[in-house]
Structure 1
């Protein structure tokens, strides 16, 4: 039986309220309570307490006053050691993986949204018990389940690290590495091919378990979990995931699910498999091995680190790489996915402004709060972090780091895992092991890549592996330095203007509506090229800004075969005539 217990009621799910009863045996004379302000893995203060209301407390038959101390803390002055009972409600209508949701069809929550922290009792066991659920509803979670409807966590940290899915959902399971893996899918269409999803997820999990722990015949350490749960919520539009110690919460478009009778692998399904791969890799890389600063989390305020380029960026490198290594996609498709990451980073002027270390530290104020100037001032530690991992992997594999032997990023990751024993690491440990594997020069260069703002030498490195680098024909938006939205009703709306671009020089601004070009009405930006007479390169743009109609013009440089346009998509493909050694290097990298 748990020391601290929460009873969760869903009496009227259509109102979107969870009703919670917290019971604290033998409370302190002045018992402090609080709700986390953020959830680990999502680096933004979300102020979950804003959805909490109606808090009341009692001891036996006597009501006890509750005093609010700040935005997320309360205190109760107790009389004697009789159990303190606190009742409150939480509004839940956010379908993301980070918070809580409840309606007549489905429920979901993270403990950070529902479960008050009992100060001074964090190390005690914490239990969750559910009241009567709607007819036909089930419960899914990786939290230990000693009795039907009852769940038990060893302490408050563990309580927060097990999300719950409630409702009528599809579920299946498979074995990988000696552990049971459950897959729960909510909101799927009737034609969803669950067996295929299980088979493909099993391949990903088996490949990653072998990556971290070696083949089963040589495995000397136990997996960090005995049971793992994928909680997938399928929606019309939405994408993302959040890692936990023995589970992950995922959200994806239901059209991305595999369908019965369809053998092809759609781009949407590859995206879903990449999401599964990414969050599962986090089981080791951030949930166990983590920034030293995260060894003891403060749920009330920001927890800073400069290492998200490693824990998120390197995970982003391995997510799609594990798909090709497990045989779910071929190398051509993998290089297409990799090229999309390269293109996204090179199309972001902020990569020349913000380093990876700075991007990691600023996640709390910049990454999760994007605006119209974000691409000019910041870089994604996911995207560029993945390319840093690629650069290091190719350098290690080709022996370009100096005196060190030919190695791999795989060896670096496994070495850090062994050194940390699933605990905290810092940048000095990463760089020291990198020097051992690839030489001091590579370690120094890596530090420069992390703390500098220059581009990575990817064309040169990829050429060593027989990967050809080329550029696609740029769109007009790329030539102008614009990011726009288009619709037949609203026309062309400017969302972002990239720094030092033609559009910025011409005076275009975010929020402008492009009405016409050279006297022709615009519904699509690309149609502006159709308004040009032969040899004409001047664009006379009619725009609407804050109810005013303005005319701006710019000269579009001629586009030749040798032109290089910032933001133009990069294409990667296996070279037609790669040397035998180069081909072997590429196969070793992708098959590892």
Structure 2
């Protein structure tokens, strides 16, 4: 048999199988029979089956939140049937159910999800509304993530609204479609009686769904949110969506957001809109999450899509994905006119100080922080501040430094904006994410300089930030007011718990660290004086000098101990900016370009 005949024979054998697989159809129905008990009821219909069994799986994490959350732990009552005939179900592992369908071409799957965790990342159902975070609700057939699906929402009685970025099915109320599971899992759904308003910006229709009330002014938001949208769109030259949905959960307390392909979920304190700081905080959150439309969802590290929903998806580049987004939040707020140039510079100087004052910044690099997000960032301990650094905060500072580096090298003609736009277009053209090396190469190409040293210091290393050098590029003097002060420093954080002063953190290499005060110690007295909640500000500490010893009486595991601590000098910086009176023309050009000044 020649090669052509072999190929033809193989095609004849394979094509019927491929055709059968291509005919698989999936539909879901989600209802809420007992919302007060926090349950979502899911019906999953599969048709066009060709094998004698099918495995269905529940994701273990939600993209954008890098932690294995084990969503299958909340699944109850999993059953399958063909018509009225029950089918055998076997659970293979924590998130996988095998259904023995025999010769059946169509089956029905039923299960419930307990949803009572208040979070932008997890499903939540109660008598007032339902928030469906899709990775915690919808299962998928094994190895068939490319399949499309339809989702029908059946609101509980008295609920009359559904808000989502999914595409609606014409003529079918509260029914939506997704081309594949990456889209379905990237499209949260809000169900209830949320306050909904709309605005147009960058040629795109935006829906805002407000749950939980609050002191917001919808008309003001309809005027201000578009300015953020327009500024971000202008930087990239295009908006990738036809419509966009903001789902806002206004609770007694809360902050944070989670990005999605054409939507976001925001957590906000419901009474925070009434102050300038609170309102600008909301707009800054909008700027951060909306920027993710580009940076993360499309301009993305190569590991972040297509996704593996069963395992960790490792990348060393979250300092770009999240940190640069944090940095640009400041720039977009400046460009939209919500903060002044002084406030812009001041916020970034505070961010630099925050890094310098975090002991973990000397231990963990930005790349390592990104890679270990799965085991560290979302699982902080009492020692995290000593051993880790946030890829958000370190990445924000790296974004600042790289922006100023490029502006300085090009005399203000190019900036990090140009790198971000070029990388977005590269990802759009290639259809895949970037590597760290590709991002570095693009920054070098645009800046015209070798950035190997920069990467070694700030991305892969733990070199302290050279703040005077970088702010100096823009003619801004930044000095450390604490330099040379030799102020005594204990190195503890404390909290009053049921009338007792308890140590909650001990800073690396401080006197408390070296001489053995522990987290969890109840402090009884300091040099014979009864302990006060603000331990560091007690006169028994403040009146001492570096090198003085202080006697602490503590209770540890119900045993009394006496510990002598020798005070060391305060290692923390206090950065204060000033304008360089001898600013050069090159510095002025960098400053004007950086801040968008005329």
TM over 0.5: yes
Q: Aligned runs of 1:232-271 on 2, under 5 Å?
A: 232-257=248-273, 259=274, 265-266=276-277, 268-271=278-281
What residue is the counterpart of 1:507 in the other structure? 516
Alignment-derived partner of residue 293 in structure 1 = 303
Measured in 2, the distance between the counterparts of 1:302 and 1:72 equals 15
Q: 2:444 aligns with which of 423, 435, 443?
A: 435
Is residue 551 from structure 1 mapped to residue 562 from structure 2 by the alignment? yes
Q: Which residue of 1 aligns with 2:469?
A: 460
> Cα distance, 1:304 vs. partner?
0.8
Give unpaired runs (5+ residues) of structure 2: 1-22
Structure 1 residue 527: Cα displacement: 6.7
Question: 1:2 touches 1:127 (CA, 8 Å); kept in 2?
Answer: no
Tell me, in whole angstroms, the C-alpha distance in 2 between the residues paired with 1:576 and 1:105: 59
1:210 aligns with 2:234: yes
Distance 1:364 1:120, change over 3 A: closer
1:18 aligns with 2:40: yes
- Between stretches 491-500 and 200-209, larger displacement belongs to 491-500
- Please give the per-residue CA displacement for 1:483-525, whole angstroms capped at 9, x wherever unaligned: 33346x4443222212111110121111112232222222322
Post-superposition offset of 1:437: 1.9
Q: Which runs of 5+ in 1 are unaligned?
A: 214-221, 558-562
**1:417 correspondence with 2:441:** no
Larger radius of gyration: 2
**Aligned equivalent of 1:96, options 90, 109, 119:** 119
Q: Contact conserved, 2:471 with 2:477, CA < 8 A, in 1?
A: yes
Per-residue deviation at 1:530? Answer: 2.2
1:143 offset after TM fit, Å? 0.6
For the 8 Å contact 2:488–2:567, the answer to whether it is kept is no
Question: Does structure 2 conserve the Cα–Cα contact (< 8 Å) formed by 1:476 and 1:526?
Answer: no
Matched residues in 2 for 1:242 and 1:96: separation?
10
Q: Matched residue of 1:383: which SS?
A: helix
| Maintained 8 Å contact 2:54/2:101 | yes
1:539 matched to which residue of 2? 550
Deviates more, 1:271-280 or 1:96-105: 271-280
Q: C-alpha displacement at 1:444, in angstroms?
A: 3.9
Aligned to 1:216: none
1:368 aligns with one of 368, 374, 378: 378
Please list the CA deviations of residues 191-218 of structure 1 after superposition, one character each: whole Å capped at 9, or x if unmatched: 42122223222111110000111xxxxx
Preserved contact between residue 478 and residue 567 of structure 1 (Cα < 8 Å): no
CA distance in 1, matches of 2:487, 2:53: 61
Superposed CA offset, 1:51-105 (max 9, x none): 0010011001110011000000011111324421000000000110111000011
The answer as to whether partners of 1:518 and 1:532 remain within 8 angstroms in 2 is no
Task: For 1:482 and 1:98, locate their aligned partners in 2 and report how far apart those are by CA, in whole Å.
Answer: 33
Q: Distance in 1 between matches of 2:488 and 2:193?
A: 46
Cα–Cα, structure 1 residues 272 and 484, in superposed 2: closer, same or farther, change >3 Å? Answer: farther
2:210 and 2:83 mapped to 1: Cα distance? Answer: 42
> Is 1:151 equivalent to 2:176 in the alignment?
yes
Query: Residue 593 of structure 2: which of 585, 588, 591 is its match?
Result: 588
Indicate if the aligned counterparts of 1:467 and 1:573 stay in contact, CA closer than 8 A. Answer: yes
Correspondence 1:199 to 2:185: no
The residue correspondences of 1:49-128 to structure 2 (distance < 5 A) are 49-128=72-151
User: Does the aligned pair in 1 maintain the 2:78–2:111 contact within 8 Å?
Assistant: yes
Are 1:4 and 2:15 an aligned pair? no
Deviations, residues 124-150 of structure 1 (Å, cap 9, x unaligned): 221111224231442111111123211
Q: Aligned-pair RMSD on alpha carbons?
A: 2.6
Change (3 A) 1:303 1:283: same
For residue 555 of structure 1, report the CA deviation from its aligned partner: 3.6
Alpha-carbon distance between aligned partners in 2 of 1:344 and 1:548, rounded to the nearest angstrom: 36
Residue 175 (structure 1) aligns with: 200
Matches within 5 A, 1:373-388: 373-388=383-398
Give the TM-score normalised by structure 2: 0.89
Give secondary structure in 2 for the equivalent of 1:240: strand
Between stretches 416-425 and 109-118, larger displacement belongs to 416-425
2:70 counterpart residue number: 47
Contact persistence 2:352–2:467 (CA under 8 A)? no
| Kept in 1: contact 2:47–2:105 (CA 8 A) | yes
